[in-house]
Amino acid sequence: MFSNTMTLDIQFGDCDPAGIVYFPNYFRMGDNATAALISAALGMHKRAWLAAFDGAGIPMVDTGARFFKPNRFGDVIEIHSEIAELGRSSFAVRHVLARDGISTVEVNEKRVWTVRDQAGDIVSSPLPDRVRQALAQIKEA
């Protein structure tokens, strides 16, 4: 399924007093990487794809992480993100963060496509066909 890789410079504000990335920041990085993944698949910015498909967002309903090696201020890491599973209204994303080709962290997410109902509440909705097709495609290198 679709994948995307982005590069990220670890900033001072990403780190805790020990000088390593504070673990909740990996979930923020994963959130940004998921938006970049879908944006790359659809060829448009998150704001545009939410508007184009009447989306209210893609909230995370399950998440987890495994930590192999610490990342520090000044490190340059790659985040390789891939669609791991497509459901009716949900999808799973796997992010592998690596420094110098060595995996440092893996973040897994399960997200749900949402829209607003007539009352304005956020509810899950089937993935739009175009979104499903874009996320299911194999990206040519």
Whole-angstrom distance, CA of residue 36 vs CA of residue 19? 27
Using H for helix, E for strand and C for coil, what is the string for the chain? CCEEEEEEECCHHHECCCCEECCHHHHHHHHHHHHHHHHHHHCCCHHHHHHHCCCCECCEEEEEEEECCCCECCCEEEEEEEEEEECCCEEEEEEEEEECCEEEEEEEEEEECEEECCCCCEEECCCCHHHHHHHHCCCCC
What's the pLDDT score for residue 139? Answer: 65
Domains of the chain: 3-136 (3.10.129.10)
What's the pLDDT score for residue 138? Answer: 78
14 is catalytic: no
pLDDT averaged over 10-residue windows placed end to end, the chain, 141 residues:
97 96 97 97 97 96 98 98 97 98 98 97 97 86 48
Q: Say what the pTM is.
A: 0.94
- Exactly one of 9, 14, 16, 117 is catalytic; name it: 16
Are 114 and 124 a contacting pair, CB within 8 Å?
yes
